[in-house]
Amino acid sequence: MLMYLKSLPWSVIITGVAVTIYILLFFSWFYQKKTIHRLKYRARANQRFHIATSVAGLGVWEWDIKQDVLVWNPYLYQLYGMGKKETLTVDEWKTKLKQSDAFCIEQLREMAGNAQQKVIRLTIPEYGNRKPKIIELLACGVPGEPQRLIGTQRDISEAISIQQAMKQAAFEDKLTGLCNSRALTQRLQITLAEPPKNLSFGLMFIDLDGFKQINDTLGHDAGDELLQCAAKRMRSCMRLEDEVFRLGGDEFVIWIQLEGERGLQAEAYKARLDLIAAKLKQTLTQAFVLNGKTCFISASIGIACYPMDACNEQALLKYADIAMYRAKQTGKNQFIYYSDIHRESANSYTESAVNTA
């Protein structure tokens, strides 16, 4: 081969070398062009990805557990109110969270290397003018990579606020701002599902005497105003631990907490309820001024107690309702205990049995 090359003219050899160099340079240029194209394509793809995740409100993160450093997309730095860093440590991340969340972060280490997913909620506390935020974090282990976690984060504060507002609307009477019948049912069901040992409370079923006449005479606007004013007066008679519910129309139920008094005599808890019922009667019989006209109402109140009268939701409400109707039928503007009605019925039965005998 070498002898063959020596036999060739220098011009041929130089031409061959030049062609070879040209071909090498061409392929090098072509490879570089393809590489640059791929890099530009990848950069544009990353840019589109970052824009899409930012617009969608989605933060993408990666955790190198061995080095204990994080890689965040730009949206996460913005979410946490931090300037972008070349290296972000987990400890720096924890300083932006509620202290109790640090333990949740540490627990994620156990997922590394496993095909697992876990969703946790983190809280960014209020700082300066920044409102607190609730973050939903999704963490994923990567099979075969025991030192790596990837995942997403998103701000769900607004979604939770909307859910809470919807829940409040579902359990709130729009006219008076009081809790509604659904809220009463839920509280009774939850409380009586596993009642505390010394639980004791009274339910006052209230019907406003004279409301219908005022509503029919002065109109529904005046009737609505009357209900709003009456609700405020009832609420003003209650302690913080008591609650007023509007069932609908002019009917209300008041939950009177008697915690710790279960072992007392009937006269003791009745004295407490008597005091509140008398206060309600007094405040509701005071004059209301509606559309420039002075109006008067009163209240018929029926009272049933847990656990003295009944131990379930339906019976308690039914007995309080029965007592309220007895108060309305026997003169209005008064309060009657279901236990008194029950006692009267028992006495009447006894007398009837004696007379029959």
pLDDT tens track for 249-300: 999 999 998 865 444 556 778 888 999 999 999 999 999 999 889 999 999 9
| Predicted local confidence at residue 28, as pLDDT | 67
Average per-residue pLDDT for the chain: 82
Q: Is 207 a catalytic residue?
A: no
Instruction: Answer yes or no: is pLDDT of 53 > 80.
Output: no
Which secondary-structure segment (H or E) carries 62?
A: strand 59-64
| Predicted local confidence at residue 346, as pLDDT | 43
Work out the pLDDT band at 55, boundaries 50, 70, 90: very low
| Predicted local confidence at residue 217, as pLDDT | 93
Instruction: Answer yes or no: is pLDDT of 35 > 70.
Output: no
The one catalytic residue among 209, 250, 309, 321: 250
Q: How many CA atoms lie within 13 A of 141 on its CB side?
A: 17
Chain segment 200-210, per-residue pLDDT in tens: 899 999 999 99
Work out the pLDDT band at 6, boundaries 50, 70, 90: low
Q: 174-180 long-range CB contacts below 8 Å, 24 or more apart? A: 175/224, 175/227, 175/228, 175/246, 176/227, 176/228, 176/231, 176/246, 177/231, 178/231, 178/235, 178/244, 178/245, 178/246, 178/252, 179/243, 179/244, 179/245, 179/246, 180/245, 180/246, 180/247
* CATH architecture of the domain covering 171-356: 2-Layer Sandwich (3.30)
Work out the pLDDT band at 222, boundaries 50, 70, 90: very high
Peptide bond before 307: cis, by omega within 30 degrees of 0? yes
The mean-pLDDT minimum among 116-120, 219-223, 250-254, 318-322 falls in 116-120
Q: Distance (Å, rounded) from C-alpha 16 to C-alpha 11?
A: 9
| Predicted local confidence at residue 354, as pLDDT | 29
Work out the pLDDT band at 159, boundaries 50, 70, 90: confident
Chain segment 173-187, per-residue pLDDT in tens: 999 999 999 999 999
Work out the pLDDT band at 17, boundaries 50, 70, 90: low
What amino acid occupies position 158? Answer: E
Higher pLDDT, 329 or 22: 329
Residues of the chain with pLDDT > 70, as a percent, come to 78
| Predicted local confidence at residue 7, as pLDDT | 59
Instruction: Answer yes or no: is pLDDT of 73 > 50.
Output: yes
| Predicted local confidence at residue 195, as pLDDT | 86
Work out the pLDDT band at 19, boundaries 50, 70, 90: low
CATH 3.40.50.720 for the 56-160 domain, yes or no? no
Work out the pLDDT band at 86, boundaries 50, 70, 90: confident
Higher pLDDT, 20 or 206: 206
Domain chopping of the chain, boundaries: 56-160, 171-356
